[in-house]
Structure 1
């Protein structure tokens, strides 16, 4: 038998070509940050000094947010609540009303809100009313972080859900597309039912964990009515519970098929497709895809990615536990193997192509630039997943070559003719023309194919390697879902208010906004406030950039007036990555000058 070329390397080459193109163009084409909300501005500003207590405090973020199980509070100098307790959210803006008749003092705003991708964002800042000293926001605010148990349990529940999807959806799809006789297998029934049950259980567990995750509490608050109600009122909670309900409905719809041991009718297939599509969409429509620009497109790409994953991993599960189980290469089972593997090979090839293409699209959206791959947690986890996917594709290539060599199947030529090896027609080595009829040739081909798969041990071992690597890929996928996207981590805009220092002490404040904070062109906004928190017009203003470690600067920034107390440097160039010091010098009059500076990490 003539060995066939290793065609499966083509998906690997396609992946490498696409990634190479992205690495070459990613920096130039990277758009605004996608997913994971960031604080843009506040009113009053951080460090502002006011003449009177404002009626409310507002916080504006880069995307829509919700309070959910979080909070937005204003604390007095003793840590007591001074807000009314009725914070509201309008799109990307959070408003916290304050109580009446508050004294002149320093106040700390502390918040923990939930972004559109279901992840919590927390922070604190201070402002002062009157002539008092500005409070240390970090010392007054509550130090709330994600509980370690909750932080580990969430990705674990997601990984269980992904594994359940592969079995609960992938196995029925494999039976419909490749192995109709498998509907009579009790093992397929048990695995599918267990998979759909796992999807439902993981959905409920994820729903319960979301409350403590958003609130920064421990597992003891898993069933806290307030947290459960907050999650149930969110789109994340409703979508997650919907996924569990659809999985149970799908399991119920499959019961008649298992009982009669036969494949579905056209009407039943449509029902299975609708429910299965609902499970896929509710899986894709949470987390990073629904946040940031063009959520519909991102959700659609993620849905295709999930379908491809389900078809591939579910098919491998069915192969290992059904067709390729020990003893499958003998008797009538060999005929099933010979008839099923070519169909599965085509389905797997299509799934791999879809995974590669959608994976690259998702990476570009969530990472944005090659530098983010090696400078963020998300990027490093994604690189680890990519390495495993390449190993997975190599193992899949070995499996596909085995199918081609043992079943004599070649890819169609450009002219549309399919070529098979000679042994698939005749045991005697003669040509097809020597056979009395085409029907006889087909009978001999079937017999020869059955003989070719008497030993499926090598194929089984190859698929076992695929399954083991795929399990690791599922774990890393679950971790990525809960990790802030690299694009947001690298290109987070800077918005900070600094007190201006002079020889006589503090004298007003300056607010600096820099976007997108990366090497190359940036936009700088400068707002100058007097002691009363009002926009001020100084006698002179200078902004410089310095990178001490690289001994660059100070570089003067050209400013253009944009209104009272407001200047803009549109196209301010930051020469390269590093920790840059932005310094502001304000000349109030002929004898008085104030300064302020802040360090900005640039990647």
Structure 2
């Protein structure tokens, strides 16, 4: 019966993930390329370059440029620098259709691929450029999610075990049956962590190379992950820490020192180091506030492990005291639970704060929260979390209600099921693509100057750190150009910084200028100042945001 219930809950959650909800990818995406998409060039380019919105990793980076016959026309010297991948092209390319085929691993460890087409010279009639493509590899989503179930389960179990003996459990003596349970519990926890870590490097290689799990076992591919990706470096550190953790835990058992607090210090340090390494992998790496996101991720992972692992270890090791109405086992259970409760209260606060901060860093607006798979799954996760908090509070204050043992027994099981469910949801949740705002577009707006006199302002590309073109058009209600003003100036203002420049005539009713002054993101106030020969003047205000 219990198995049927768990299976049903699992299927419901999996069904939620199959609902067709619009996804806005926040893995790396192209912001600029040379040549650009569908660009028609007069002369042969010497280099192909693609720039992404975030840093990309050097491992498994591919950039092939081919002609319409599928022949490679690049020199094969692919280089990755910060957000850019590039390759030199062969000399004197012929008039033809060309395609840049790329594959990179983004900062958060996800593999993405795509095509950018361009052409040289005039194309024969009927020749069509291929469409630009962008694909995030989802073939390994199931294996990655299962891997995280292993890791998060192991983290929770072991965190609960360490704090159980280090802080919460204060008996006068240790019963042999608790020692036996502790050994079995520790073996399960460390096995889950070990299996999770060992499978992680293979699965990450599978993601990076876009191959099957068994193909990812190829030594050359594993070596490239270890040498050329951030995940490989972090995994190496984790394995050293895990080896220290296992050896020190074995030492604790060999010396029979479960109640000696100093013996748990080194295992705890090693374990926290593994958690800290884990916090550097995943979505926080792609956040514009990477350091804050990593810190919040570490707090969130640690707090979740304490909260869930604490209740599991107490119920498993002290199960006789759960339903005992009196006696030594009753007292030990409730004293341990009381000690844990303060930690539980604190970790719930940490989970709420770190979750809110991470959510604000990864979800740009309310619409993304309610319309994307990532946002809706986050709401499901919050709902399960709230239910667990409710059941946890009930169990904490229900000491005097043990006469209702059947109901108490059921609610304990429900809380445990919710905990498992939360682990599953979290494991899948971390694989979903985080939402992002649309790519910042050039600014365009129109305003009325006076009766039958209008003005438009265009700012392109409206980006920081590069020359932006400003174009002002003056026209009447029939869109015919107006008479020339004596002078047109634009004033830019953001906070205390302010600058102005003059526009030059570029055509009938059209005036342009280039300027570098959009030097920081945020809201900018723009005023177009018009001065006519009859000394009439107008100030037309605009404002826009730069990301």
Q: Does TM, normalized by the shorter one, top 0.5?
A: yes
- SS at 1:59 equivalent: strand
Structure 1 position 380 matched with structure 2 position 376:
yes
Please name the residue that 1:368 is paired with. Answer: 364
Structure 1 gap ranges (5+): 1-32, 407-452, 495-512, 516-521, 528-534, 543-557, 574-603
Q: CA deviation at 1:51?
A: 2.1
Matches of 2:256 and 2:403, distance apart in 1: 26
Distance in 2 separating the partners of 1:337 and 1:539 = 76
Structure 1 residue 477 and structure 2 residue 470: aligned? no
Matched, 1:391 2:387: yes
Q: Which residue number corresponds to residue 293 of structure 1? A: 288
Offset of 1:243 from its aligned partner? Answer: 2.5
| Separation in structure 2 between the aligned mates of residue 381 and residue 172 of structure 1, nearest angstrom | 31
Q: Which residue of 2 aligns with 1:283?
A: 278
Deviation at 1:374, TM superposition (A): 1.6
Separation in structure 1 between the aligned mates of residue 317 and residue 162 of structure 2, nearest angstrom: 13
Distance 2:286 2:204 in 1: 17
C-alpha separation in 2, matches of 1:299 and 1:399: 33
Gaps of 5+ in 2: 1-23, 444-456, 463-467, 476-508, 526-547
Residue aligning to 2:396: 400
Distance in 2 between residues matched to 1:385 and 1:559, nearest whole Å: 54
* 2:219 equivalent to 1:225: yes
Deviation at 1:382, TM superposition (A): 0.7
* Aligned-partner Cα distance in 2 for 1:327–1:347: 19
TM-score of the two chains, using structure 1 as the length reference? 0.66
User: In 2, distance between residues paired with 1:274 and 1:197?
Assistant: 18
Deviation, 1:287, is 0.7
Task: Give the C-alpha shift of residue 265 in structure 1.
Answer: 4.6
Indicate conservation of the 8 Å contact 1:147/1:218, yes or no: no
**Match in the other structure for 1:97:** 88
8 Å Cα contact 1:200-1:243 kept in structure 2: no
- Report how far residue 563 of structure 1 moved: 3.3
TM-score (norm 2): 0.72
What is the deviation of 1:571?
Answer: 7.8
Give the match for residue 120 of structure 2. Answer: 129
Match of 1:250 among 245, 254, 269: 245
C-alpha distance in structure 2 between counterparts of 1:34 and 1:225, whole Å: 31
Match of 1:270 in 2: 265
Q: What corresponds to 2:205 in structure 1?
A: 211
SS in 1 for 2:73: coil
When residues 147 and 295 of structure 1 are mapped into structure 2, their CA distance, relative to the original with a 3 A threshold, is: closer
Match of 1:312 among 295, 298, 307: 307
Helix, strand or coil at the partner of 1:464: helix
Cα distance, 1:327 vs. partner? 8.0
Residue aligned with 2:108, SS: coil
After TM superposition, list the pairs within 5 Å mapping 1:134-283 onto structure 2.
135-138=128-131, 146=137, 148=139, 150-181=140-171, 185-233=179-227, 234-263=229-258, 265=260, 267-283=262-278
How far 1:540 moved relative to its partner? 8.7
Preserved contact between residue 78 and residue 86 of structure 2 (Cα < 8 Å): yes
1:332 equivalent to 2:328? Answer yes
CA contact (8 A) 2:252 2:264 kept: no
Aligned partners of 1:244, 1:459: CA distance in 2, in Å? 41
Tell me what 1:430 maps to: none
CA separation of 1:147/1:223 partners in 2, compared to 1, >3 Å: closer, same or farther? farther
Residues 488-514 of structure 1, C-alpha deviations (whole Å, 9 max, x = no match)? 2xx1316xxxxxxxxxxxxxxxxxx55
**C-alpha spacing 1:247/1:459, structure 2 compared with 1 (3 Å):** farther
Q: 1:492 aligns with which of 435, 438, 441?
A: 438
| RMSD value, Cα | 3.6
How far apart, CA to CA, are the structure 2 residues paired with 1:485 and 1:138? 25
Q: Which has the higher contact order (CA 8 A, sep 6+)?
A: 1
Give the 5 Å matches for 1:3-152. Answer: 36-132=27-123, 135-138=128-131, 146=137, 148=139, 150-152=140-142
